[in-house]
């Protein structure tokens, strides 16, 4: 499957050059890019609305911690926030239910550059974060329920870490449910370490959260 990932703010903000290179390691410039103000061109509003609606639908189907649409929209408007969508323009049929036996090797997922996000794109995952100086705080990373167990979460996390390390981010923070062994093991695979326990962090069932950090050295 050919996949692409894009930060919605990269495609709607007129202040970001289209040919911006990940290899640009000027940290002062990169931090300005990460924290640029939001400027939405009217002709891009339909694709923005489509992408956020699809993200919200995925969230409602797959996430245990529920945001409402207002929380999505408010977070998107914040300076320094990022909404990355993972999508494909391939024609493929979504399965009716998650196939837990599908262990597709993420090496078969190909990052396809210069494939534009459109109203026909199939959004299959997303990643929400905000940045402060050289820190990224990961708020949500979710794969569509019917597309799980296919290596897509690994694919997205690998893409995000590579991209934003090159943009000058040195610390990545997140919280994860203490019972979510699958996610914890994935984060550890990418170098995240547990540094704190938050008791009763999640409102729905008062489950504890593990706070994890990846430091770029």
Which residues are identified as catalytic?
A: 175, 187
Q: Which of 143, 102, 153 is nearest to 123 (CA)?
A: 143
Dist. CA 68–CA 88, nearest whole Å: 25
Reported as type and span, the H/E element at residue 209 is strand 209-215
Helix then strand then coil, % of the chain, to nearest 5: 35, 25, 40
List of E strands, 11-167: 81-88, 110-111, 122-132, 135-143
Beta-carbon contacts of 80 under 8 Å, excluding residues fewer than 6 positions away, are 34, 35, 130, 131, 132
Say whether 116 sits in a helix, a strand or coil.
coil
Beta-carbon contacts of 93 under 8 Å, excluding residues fewer than 6 positions away, are none
Label the pairing between strands 110-111 and 2-7. Answer: parallel
**What is the sign, positive or negative, of the torsion defined by CA atoms of 134, 140, 146, 148?**
positive
């Amino acid at each position: 499957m050919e996949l692409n990932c894009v930060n919605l703010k990269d495609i709607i903000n007129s202040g970001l050059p289209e040919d911006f290179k990940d290899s640009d390691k000027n940290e002062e410039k990169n931090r300005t890019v990460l924290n640029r103000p939001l400027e939405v061109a009217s002709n891009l509003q339909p694709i923005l609305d489509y992408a956020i609606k699809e993200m919200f639908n995925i969230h409602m189907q797959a996430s245990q911690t529920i945001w409402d649409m207002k929380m999505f929209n408010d977070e998107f408007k914040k300076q320094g926030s990022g909404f990355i969508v993972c999508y494909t323009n391939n024609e493929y049929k979504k399965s009716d239910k998650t196939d837990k036996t599908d262990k597709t090797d993420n090496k078969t997922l190909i990052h396809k550059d210069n494939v534009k996000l459109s109203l026909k794109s199939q959004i299959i995952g997303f990643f929400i974060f905000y940045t402060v100086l050289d820190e990224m705080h990961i708020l949500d990373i979710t794969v569509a329920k019917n597309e799980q167990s296919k290596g897509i979460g690994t694919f997205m996390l690998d893409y995000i870490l590579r991209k934003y390390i090159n943009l000058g981010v040195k610390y990545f923070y997140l919280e994860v449910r203490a019972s979510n062994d699958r996610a914890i093991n994935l984060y550890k695979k990418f170098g995240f370490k547990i540094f704190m326990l938050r008791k009763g962090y999640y409102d729905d069932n008062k489950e504890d959260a593990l706070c994890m950090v990846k430091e770029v050295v």
